[in-house]
C-alpha cells in the first residue's frame, strides 16, 4: 500500500535554524501516530512540512503521493492541519466559520452541522462570535472545521490543550472514528498518558530528527461515535 507520509533525510530551515535536521520516517494509512519530544524538537515543523506549508532544503518529502514542494494547494483538501492557532475568523460565529470553511472545501451543510454537534458546539453557542468564546470552545470549533472536511491525513499540533475532559473525549472519539474509516492521524502531544491509549505508534523527535519509533504494544480500543 502506498505510504501516506514518506520522508527521507528532510531538512527544513526556519530562518537559518535547521528545525528539522534530517528526518526519515514512513507512515502508512490507518495509523495513528503520536509525536513526542522536548520543546523545540521540531514537532510543529514536521507537521507543517507534511501539510505542504514549508519548503525543504534537503532530502525528500512526499505526502499522499505528492511532493510537498508543490505546496499546500496540491494537497488541497486531502490534508487537514490544526496548529497552535485555530484558523478561525473572530468576528464570525462558529456556524458562519463552518459555513465558510465548509463551503471552501466542499463539505455540505449537513456535514458541517454534524461536525459542530460532534464537538459539542450547538444551539445558541454556535451563534456566538468566535472572539467571544472561551479558548476551549474555539478549539472545538477549529476541530469541527477540520473534521468537516474529512481529510485523509489529520495533522494535529497539541490538540488537547485548552480542552476540558468532555472535549478531549470527543476529540479522541473523532480520531478513532477517522482511523477506522481509513484516514491517518499524526498528532504531536505532551499529554502522553491520554494519547497512549489511542496511538498505534509513537515517534520521538529530538534535535530535529527521529530518535525513537515504537509501535504500541496493545492495539488501541476501537469504538466511539461516527462523525
Partner 1 sequence: MLRTALLVAGKDLRIEWRSKVGMVQVLPFAMAVLVLFAFALDGNRSTLRDVTPGLAWIAMLLSLLLGVQRAFGPETVDGALDALRLSGLEPAGVFLGKAAALAAQLLALGTLLGIGVALFYGPDAPGVGGWVVLVTTVVVATTGLAAVGTIYGALSAGIRVRDTLLPILVLPVVMPVLIAATRAVEASLGIRAELTDAWPWVGLLAVFTLAYTALGLLAFGPLLEET
Partner 2 sequence: MTAGTTTRPGTGTRGSRILGVLALAGLAWLVIFGFLLSPADEVQGDSVRLMYVHVPSAWLAYLAFGVTAFCSLMYLWKRTRSLAWDRIAGCSAEIGLLFTGLALVTGMTWGQVTWGHVWDWGDARLVTTALLFLLFVGYVALRRLPAAPHVRAKRAAVAGIIAFLDVPLVHQSVEWFRTLHQSPTILRKDLDPQIDGVMLFSVFVGVVAFTLVYVWLLVHRNRVAMMEARLEAGGLEQALAERRGEPVGTAAVGS
**What residues make contact with partner 1 under the rule CB under 8 A?**
48, 51-55, 71-73, 75-77, 79-81, 83-92, 96, 100-101, 103-105, 129, 145
Residues in CB range of 187: below 8 A, 6 or more apart = 32, 33, 34, 35, 154, 155, 156, 157, 158, 159, 175, 195
Q: Check if the beta carbon of residue 130 is closer than 8 Å to that of residue 97.
A: yes
Q: Of 77 and 201, which CB lies nearer to partner 1 in the complex structure?
A: 77
CA distances to 50, 64, 84, 105, 199 from 23, in Å: 12, 17, 22, 30, 20
Is 102 a binding residue for partner 2 by CB under 8 A? The answer is no
Residue 83 CA to residue 28 CA, distance in Å, equals: 22
H or E element, residue 201: strand 201-206
The smaller minimum CB distance to partner 2, of residues 45 and 86, is found at 45
By C-beta, is 145 or 198 nearer to partner 1? 145
Calculate the CA dihedral of residues 97, 103, 108, 109 and round it to 10 degrees: 40
Q: Which of 211, 213, 215, 226 binds partner 2 (CB under 8 A)?
A: 211
Residues 11-50 that bind partner 2 (CB under 8 A): 11, 13-19, 21-22, 38-45
Interface with partner 2, residue 80, by CB under 8 A: no
- Read off the C-alpha cell for 74: 496540491
Residue 59 binds partner 2 (CB under 8 A): no
**Is 35 or 133 the residue whose CB approaches partner 2 more closely?**
35
Nearest approach, Cβ of residue 84 and partner 2 (Å) = 9
Closer by beta carbon to partner 1, 54 or else 199: 54
Positions in the binding site for partner 2 (CB under 8 A): 11, 13-19, 21-22, 38-45, 55, 57, 206-209, 211
Amino acid at each position: 500500500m502506498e505510504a501516506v507520509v514518506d520522508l527521507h533525510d528532510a531538512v527544513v530551515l526556519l530562518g537559518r535554524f535547521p528545525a528539522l535536521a534530517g528526518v526519515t520516517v514512513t507512515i502508512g494509512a490507518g495509523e495513528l501516530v503520536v509525536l513526542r519530544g522536548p520543546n523545540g524538537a521540531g514537532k510543529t515543523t514536521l507537521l507543517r512540512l507534511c501539510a505542504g506549508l514549508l519548503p525543504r532544503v534537503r532530502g525528500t518529502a512526499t505526502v499522499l503521493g505528492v511532493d510537498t514542494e508543490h505546496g499546500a494547494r496540491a494537497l488541497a483538501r486531502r490534508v487537514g492541519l490544526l496548529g497552535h492557532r485555530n484558523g478561525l475568523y473572530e468576528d464570525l460565529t462558529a456556524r458562519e466559520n463552518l459555513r465558510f470553511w465548509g463551503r471552501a472545501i466542499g463539505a455540505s451543510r449537513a456535514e458541517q452541522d454534524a461536525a459542530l454537534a460532534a464537538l459539542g458546539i450547538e444551539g445558541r453557542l454556535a451563534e456566538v462570535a468566535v472572539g467571544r468564546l472561551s479558548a476551549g470552545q474555539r478549539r472545538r470549533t477549529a476541530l469541527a472545521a477540520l473534521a468537516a472536511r474529512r481529510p485523509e491525513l489529520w495533522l494535529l499540533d497539541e490538540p488537547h490543550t485548552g480542552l476540558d475532559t468532555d472535549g478531549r473525549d470527543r476529540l479522541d472519539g473523532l480520531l478513532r472514528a477517522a482511523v477506522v474509516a481509513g484516514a491517518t492521524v499524526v498528532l504531536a502531544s505532551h499529554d502522553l498518558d491520554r494519547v497512549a491509549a489511542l496511538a498505534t505508534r509513537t515517534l520521538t523527535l529530538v534535535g530535529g530528527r527521529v530518535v525513537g519509533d515504537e509501535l504500541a504494544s496493545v492495539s488501541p480500543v476501537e469504538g466511539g461515535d461516527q462523525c
